[in-house]
Structure 1
Amino acid sequence: MRIIVLIIGLFGLQVINGQTPEHILKNYNLIWSDDFNGTTIDSLKWSYRATGSKRQFGIVKEENSYLDGNGKLIIEVSKNDSIHQIGQIGTQDKFLTKYGYFECSAKMNKELGPHVAFWLQSPYIQKEKNNPKKYGTEIDIFEYHTNGGTNYVYHNLHWNGYGEHHKSVGEKIQIDHIDEGFHTFGLEWTKDEYIFYVDGKETWRTTEAISHIAEYIILSAELSGWGGDFAKSNFPDQVIFDYVKVYKKAAN
């Protein structure tokens, strides 16, 4: 599924993963990015999302999303007494776009229970309208959890609301050592298809539920139940993001 380069040096074996696909670098221009430098989340790019609300088994808290001061964004699931806390940030109301190539570099969580994600969301997703072209699609560029194995990532699409008429399609992708170190996750979104990438290699493409509207980016660590029984897990558990980048196709 992916190409790796092994380097043996003073510090032992290291794994360097492929990153942005060559055709993206050749044919697309970088238009938006965040390398998470500094000590506070850039409020011109991101907002805390749904803080104070209860999402499945967790309460969304601002303090669960923060920069470490070394160029990394930490989003964690924590436990405060008997209350589980989760984190998520998004570019809603600050950066929405359609089509292009979206990429992040991230290091996965370890414990059973949380599931972490890099995704795009439509501002009209709650409408039960079976018309993703007009109302958009939730595009999960990657989702990850340790329930059922640590070497899998998930690409998923959701549309037509989240009620009884909800529709979805997705793929479970096995990638060895995805639970070790940082990996890149990308989506090439055109008016005709979605193409998903892990470490620069295509993992899934589909023409299902293509959104033709501008959407925003979300980074999150959830506690939904999908990630398994978290009763005996050690918290905090976290996903670490190194960067997020958005490219647009260059004009001919």
Structure 2
Amino acid sequence: MNNRNLIFTALALCLSLTSPAQVLFEDNFEGDSLDMTKWNHEEGDGCPNLCGWGNNERQIYSRDYLSVEDGKLVITAVKDGDKYYSAKINSKDKMEFQYGTIETRLKLPQGHGIWPAVWMLGTNIGEVGWPASGEIDLMEYVGREPHTIYSSLHTPASHGDTENSKKTFIEDIEEGYHTFKTVWTKDDIQYYIDGEHVYTFTPKVYDEEHYPFRHPFYFLINMAVGGNFGGPEVDDTIFPVKFYVDYIKVTQE
């Protein structure tokens, strides 16, 4: 190889090492309404097929309790009479991807009985069902456990139970905004909170039972009320409560 070729090879290597990650998806929630080219509303109480959304949750989802304000997605949970209302969106058929670094910046609500989450489901859920589709919980918080973040995954090997999970205690997690990052690869899933590594999931066996994470997934963002995980008790004095999402972004190297 002559000197010129050596120089070109070295330049190509440098460019490959320093080239920025490709942005697959980004929503900074600008404007005054949800971008419907990126998201879908999920509404109702889950009935008749999945009443209580499979977790005995109390809320009825409605787009009326979601807004975009000052560059933030805002989900508001309220109690009206004997009913609870909140909002939920997903990116199914609009933003679906396989592997990448997911980052989101959130301001959490507080109060016993609320359950905000940013999570993902496999796009094959309609064919194989849950938990065969896999579930990646990017951030879960339940008001009955203050100062605690759940980083969890659901697989067929665990029968959907939350066995592959890490609880991280952060004293001031309810104060201001915090950044949650998940690095999803074909071999493991890594979790970070405010830049600090908190958990890595590596399966014992790489098969569909233990690692159903080698196919495309889509996003869900919601705030549940009560339910098997969020409740069952709910403090009715906390409402209304708000869950803020500053941005969500996906990059690939």
Deviates more, 1:231-240 or 1:97-106: 231-240
Q: Secondary structure of 1:115's partner?
A: strand
Q: 1:179 aligns with which of 149, 165, 174?
A: 174
Q: How does 1:211-230 map to 2 (within 5 A)?
A: 211-225=213-227, 226-228=229-231, 229-230=233-234
- 1:188 aligned residue: 183
Give 1:51 shift.
Answer: 3.9
The residue number in structure 1 matching 2:101 is 101
1:40-79 matched pairs, under 5 angstroms: 40-51=33-44, 53=46, 54-55=52-53, 56-68=57-69, 70-79=70-79
Whether the 8 Å contact between 1:105 and 1:243 is mirrored in structure 2 is yes
1:158 aligns with 2:160: no
SS across alignment from 2:236: coil
Instruction: For structure 1, list consecutive stretches of 5 or more residues without a partner in the other structure.
Output: 1-24
The answer to whether structure 1 residue 147 and structure 2 residue 144 are counterparts is: yes
- Please give the secondary structure, in 2, of the residue aligned with 1:233: helix
Q: Comparing both structures, which one devotes a greater share of its residues to strand? A: 1
Inter-partner Cα distance in structure 2 for 1:233 and 1:138: 32
> CA separation in 2, counterparts of 1:124 and 1:82?
36
Q: Which is worse superposed, 208-217 or 198-207?
A: 208-217
Structural RMSD (CA):
2.3
Asked whether 1:36 is paired with 2:36, we answer no
- How far 1:196 moved relative to its partner? 0.4
Q: How far is the alpha carbon of 1:86 from its aligned partner? A: 1.9
State the Cα deviation string for residues 118-147 of structure 1 (Å, max 9, x = none). Answer: 111113347368xx8xx5311001101221
Conservation of the 8 A alpha-carbon contact between 2:111 and 2:235 = no
Structure 2 counterpart of 1:152, which letter?
Answer: T
CA contact (8 A) 2:43 2:63 kept: no
Q: Residue deviations 1:145-176, cap 9 Å, x none?
A: 2213x211001111239xx9434321111112
Structure 2 counterpart of 1:18: none
Find the aligned partners of 1:49 and 1:248 in 2 and give their Cα distance.
28
The reply to whether residue 201 of structure 1 matches residue 196 of structure 2 is: yes
Please, what TM-score do these two structures have when normalized by structure 2?
0.79
Give, as a single letter, the amino acid of the residue that structure 1 aligns with 2:100.
G
> How many aligned positions are there?
217
Task: Return the letter of the residue paired with 2:26.
Answer: S
Task: Write out per-residue CA displacement over residues 45-101 of structure 1, whole angstroms, 9 at most, x where no aligned residue.
Answer: 011024453432111111122112x10100121112111012111101101001000
Task: Check 1:122–1:224 CA distance in 2 against 1; reply closer, same or farther (3 A cut).
Answer: farther
- Identify unmatched segments of 5+ residues in structure 2: 1-17, 47-51, 204-209
- Quick check: 2:79–2:236 contact (8 Å CA) kept in 1? no
* Superposed displacement of residue 28, structure 1: 2.6
Per the alignment, residue 4 of structure 1 pairs with: none
User: In 1, Cα distance between the equivalents of 2:202 and 2:133?
Assistant: 14
Give the letter for the 1:166 counterpart. G
**Percent pairwise identity:** 27
Matching residue of 1:16: none
Distance of 1:67 and 1:139 partners within structure 2: 25
Aligned to 1:90: 90
- Counterparts of 2:172 and 2:217 in 1: how far apart (Å)? 31
C-alpha distance in 2, partners of 1:247/1:186? 11
User: Structure 1's 120 and 141: CA in aligned 2 closer, same or farther, altered over 3 A?
Assistant: same
Question: Aligned partners of 2:144 and 2:82: how far apart in 1?
Answer: 22
